[in-house]
Amino acid sequence: MPIETGKDTSKTRRSLQAAGKSYAYYSIPAATEAGLGDFSKLPASLKVVLENLLRFEDGGKTVSVEDIKAFAEWAKLGGQNPREIAYRPARVLMQDFTGVPAVVDLAAMRDGIKALGGDPQKINPLNPVDLVIDHSVMIDEFGTPRAFERNVELEYERNMERYTFLKWGQNAFNNFRVVPPGTGICHQVNLEYLAQTVWTDKDQNGEEVAYPDTLVGTDSHTTMVNGLAVLGWGVGGIEAEAAMLGQPVSMLIPEVVGFKITGALKEGVTATDLVLKVVQMLRKHGVVGKFVEFYGEGLDHMPLADRATIANMAPEYGATCGFFPIDNETLRYLRQTGREEDRIALVEAYAKENGFWRGADYAPVYSSTLELDQGDVVPAISGPKRPQDHVPLTNSAEEFRKYICGTRELPEPTEKAERRWKEEGGAPAPDYLPGHHDGYKAGNVDGYDYKLHDGSIVIASITSCTNTSNPYVLMAAGLVARKARALGLTRKPWVKTSLAPGSQVVAEYLEAANLQEDLDALGFNLVGFGCTTCIGNSGPLEPAISKSINDNDLVAVSVLSGNRNFEGRISPDVRANYLASPPLVVAYAIAGDMNIDLTTEPLGYSNEGKPVFLKDIWPSSKEVAELVDTIVTREMFQSKYADVFKGDERWQAVKVTDSETYDWPAGSTYIQNPPYFRGMSKDPGEIHNIDGARVLALLGDMITTDHISPAGSFKPTTPAGVYLTEHQVAPKDFNSYGSRRGNHEVMMRGTFANIRIKNEMLDGVEGGYSKGPNGEQMAIYDAAMAYEAAGIPLVVIGGIEYGAGSSRDWAAKGTNLLGVKAVIAESFERIHRSNLVGMGVVPFEFTNGDNRKTLGLKGDEVISIDGLAGDFKPLSLVDCTIKYADGHTRTIKLKARVDTEVEIEYLENGGVLHYVLRNLAKA
């Protein structure tokens, strides 16, 4: 379908030549010549947004000349001018956990528009949409040559209903493609294949137009592609659906934080170490809702794979995106990964013509800046439960020890322990933790009983888009395995090891370098192409290991090369989770114990009985670089992506019906028609004040979307487990919350059901519990239903950075379906705030230094909020009256985090999808 550009194109439309072809484009220098302002000092990331407005300027219907001039004012004001604008990304990227509910919503909207007398064919993506199935594979089988094949078999057995539904969607909707299971992780597929840096399409006049490649994605790590100078960020499924259907993304012109990179990484330091330091620095600086743009001569020494690693973790440092401008390294990567030469020539020509090129003179205006010399970066990990908790490797054992001491009081070392410690020269035996006890039996290998204790590493996983997209750290992991194997070292028997690359190209180059054989020898066999451990699909631990951990309340540890380590995410058996580079993951699998200082103590002993230290098996930067340069070729990428949409024989065998609307299977426990559009009127309603609401949950700081809507496994005793049991689903077939996101009945019951969430209304209770109308403790879902039956509205109260983490729209959908009318917090993360508004839930921020603690909130208060009815404006200050249990009241001011006029309309309609649906029906 041709792109619809703006109507008045004469002022800024120009043409350029590249590789013998002519393209129209919208020129930023021409906008200056036309008197719209001086845009020369804008950061490249903001120029992408400006070009978008130039291309879609329509006399003020959605984009006005004043919107464009505001960017020149932004530069004059030193990077400040938060004007509301309408932005249209070129395409949408989805994965299956968030994509299934998005397609469910589209299917439900077809039913809804039909009920309103409209045409179901109006519910069709207007922009290209790619959905990559990557979140469903689970690690059941590991450490064997058959692990990959067995895990894929189980994946299809568990998810056939979902895959059938997605294949129906691929046939039913225009502009919608599905990348089948077993191909790779969406962000890596995007980086290596889908992204073009400069996009082209024919406009309504049939002319080929070149413009920046941009996107929104239903996964927070969509930001990874900013390493390739493609502006993209994560949104909830509901916002992505609106974008698909032609609704512009309403946003404020953001601040852009400039992050200057100088120097080069020292010997032995990896891109993972670099990004963990960047995350720490930017979290401290404060970048929520802002763009971050990286610049400086240090980029001349930074391969694009490293840039993508940094861009990937923008959600972890809180930014909307972490952008790298186009330069020679961008072109080199496009060429290496198999892009057409005509495209590469266009990227260079367009970037230089339109002011997007990072040359030696690149010096834009930024809202604020900070700087890092790469030479100051040291090997590190992050944890045990937040990505920004940066720990230098030299301090890792000590910091873990402090964490343990914070969880329980440990006994002094016994005389036996002291003697063994001295006899072994300070190196702990694998069943021993100094200062604790000899451990608890968990298994037997070759007649040797091994034991677990606090700090035993039970999961070591090379996984996720963040690092497996980077051949430098993957090759380094393989070399660590090779050197360890040569010395006779292997993983400890209690460590569940896995390798889950983000694309098939990774498997290809590890095989070509003969490193997969070494990884296999240490238990890092290929288990699948997908997110696995990083999304919580780590699979079950051995029963005896799980029993030992839970019977003895041990703090077991996971180490993964991922981007998320939030509480309760990785495994229900694991309470301390650390992010680390792939080579460090291999090293920790060998050590098997977080109490061991890898920088000073041996990981184990060689065949000759000599201690082996990390430095003995760590490859040099030269070794790694030479291997990457020799092995990773353009042809590998071209070969592996030649049939990317074809899939294996299992995918090809999935049969679907060809129908305009979906025939919802009544007995399905995976796919259900959601209730959002039932009985919907043709006209919007009004926003109402909140009167007499009760508190469903009183929560602390950094409540993540994993806390609100967990993705992992759940037990039969949970509300979701009870529901599935009542529908004749055996516990072994429960799958995960993430895989059940097409069924609102399961997801409602899973909202606020994270096993580690703490509702401060209750004393020291972990898990998804609250108090019902009668004050009795019960599951949050049951309490919400009891309040709903009594006709009582609900609010949720939180601390700072509420809604951090994944973009999952179910954190907002579930909140809405539980009857929550408002969330009151000290601050919100960007995506979740937007998702709440998109689902008709009003986000409020405390003001004047108020918070749940200063107000003495216990959760038994009655909350009323005025100022929403009538003339409600964006970012209004409204009155909130708190009636305490003893009868006295207090009125405070809340700031409504409804940021734009369009978001007011969303609330009037009951949500963004209702708004879009009504407009399409009227049209």
Matching residue, tokens 């029906």: 921
Fold for the domain defined by 690-708+793-922: Aconitase; domain 4 (3.20.19)
> Vertex 474, ends 213 and 135: CA angle to 5°?
60
Query: Above 50 in pLDDT, residue 412?
Result: no
Query: Above 90 in pLDDT, residue 658?
Result: no
CATH superfamily membership of 383-619 = Aconitase, domain 3 (3.30.499.10)
Q: Look over the chain and give the mean of its residue pLDDT values, rounded to a whole number.
A: 91
Encode pLDDT of 773-794 as tens digits: 999 999 999 999 999 999 999 9
Burial of 792 per CB tally in 10 Å (0-12, 13-18, 19+):
middle
Sign of CA dihedral 724, 726, 727, 731: positive
CB within 8 A of 653, min separation 6: which ones?
none
- Pairwise CA distance, residues 246 & 129, whole Å: 12
- Pairwise CA distance, residues 193 & 187, whole Å: 10
Encode pLDDT of 218-275 as tens digits: 888 999 999 999 999 998 888 888 888 888 988 899 999 999 999 999 999 999 999 9
Query: Above 50 in pLDDT, residue 556?
Result: yes
Matching residue, tokens 């949500």: 911
Query: Please, which pLDDT band fits residue 429 given cuts at 50, 70 and 90?
Result: very low
Across the range 149-162, mean pLDDT stands at: 92
- Pairwise CA distance, residues 781 & 750, whole Å: 8
- Pairwise CA distance, residues 745 & 726, whole Å: 12
- Pairwise CA distance, residues 900 & 82, whole Å: 11
Across the range 832-840, mean pLDDT stands at: 92
Q: How far is CA 41 from the centre of its chain?
A: 31
Strand (E) or helix (H) holding 67: helix 65-76
Across the range 164-177, mean pLDDT stands at: 94
CA within 13 Å, CB half, 733: 15
C-alpha closest to that of 474 among 464, 485, 484: 464
Query: Above 70 in pLDDT, residue 3?
Result: no
Type of residue at 242: A
> Vertex 232, ends 822 and 260: CA angle to 5°?
105
Domain residue limits, the chain:
383-619, 690-708+793-922
In angstroms, how far apart are the furthest CA atoms of the chain? 86
**What pLDDT, on the 0 to 100 scale, is given for residue 411?**
42
**What pLDDT, on the 0 to 100 scale, is given for residue 10?**
65
Q: What is the DSSP string of 592-655?
A: -BTTS-TTTS-SEE-TTS-EE-HHHHPPPHHHHHHHHHHH--HHHHHHHTTTTTT--HHHHT--
- Pairwise CA distance, residues 533 & 539, whole Å: 8
Integer-rounded Cα radius of gyration of the chain: 27
Sign of CA dihedral 550, 147, 515, 195: negative
> Vertex 100, ends 97 and 105: CA angle to 5°?
130
- Pairwise CA distance, residues 451 & 443, whole Å: 7
Query: Above 80 in pLDDT, residue 439?
Result: no
**What pLDDT, on the 0 to 100 scale, is given for residue 5?**
63
Encode pLDDT of 707-722 as tens digits: 999 988 899 999 999 9
**What pLDDT, on the 0 to 100 scale, is given for residue 430?**
40
What's the pTM?
0.85
Across the range 135-156, mean pLDDT stands at: 92
Encode pLDDT of 114-144 as tens digits: 888 889 999 999 899 999 998 888 899 999 9
End-to-end CA distance of the chain: 19
Query: Above 70 in pLDDT, residue 407?
Result: no
Encode pLDDT of 567-603 as tens digits: 878 898 999 999 999 999 999 999 999 999 999 999 9
Matching residue, tokens 């900070």: 370
CB within 8 A of 343, min separation 6: which ones?
196, 197, 198, 334
**What pLDDT, on the 0 to 100 scale, is given for residue 68?**
96
Across the range 280-305, mean pLDDT stands at: 95
**What pLDDT, on the 0 to 100 scale, is given for residue 442?**
83
Structure tokens at 173: 């909707």
- Pairwise CA distance, residues 819 & 821, whole Å: 6
The CA-atom distances, in angstroms, between 180 and each of 95, 160, 650, 651, 743 are 11, 12, 10, 7, 21
Encode pLDDT of 8-26 as tens digits: 556 899 999 999 999 999 9
**What pLDDT, on the 0 to 100 scale, is given for residue 531?**
87
How many other C-beta atoms lie within 10 A of the C-beta of residue 328? 12
In percent, the amount of the chain with pLDDT more than 70 equals 95
Query: Above 90 in pLDDT, residue 404?
Result: no
Q: Bridge partners of 842?
A: 822
- Pairwise CA distance, residues 784 & 776, whole Å: 12
Query: Above 90 in pLDDT, residue 97?
Result: no
C-alpha closest to that of 711 among 540, 457, 538, 527: 538
Across the range 728-754, mean pLDDT stands at: 93
- Pairwise CA distance, residues 281 & 373, whole Å: 12
Kindly give the residue spans of alpha helices, DSSP state H, lying in 116-255. Answer: 147-172, 186-189, 237-244
Across the range 482-504, mean pLDDT stands at: 95
- Pairwise CA distance, residues 500 & 533, whole Å: 9
- Pairwise CA distance, residues 474 & 241, whole Å: 35
467 SS3 class? helix
Query: Above 60 in pLDDT, residue 160?
Result: yes
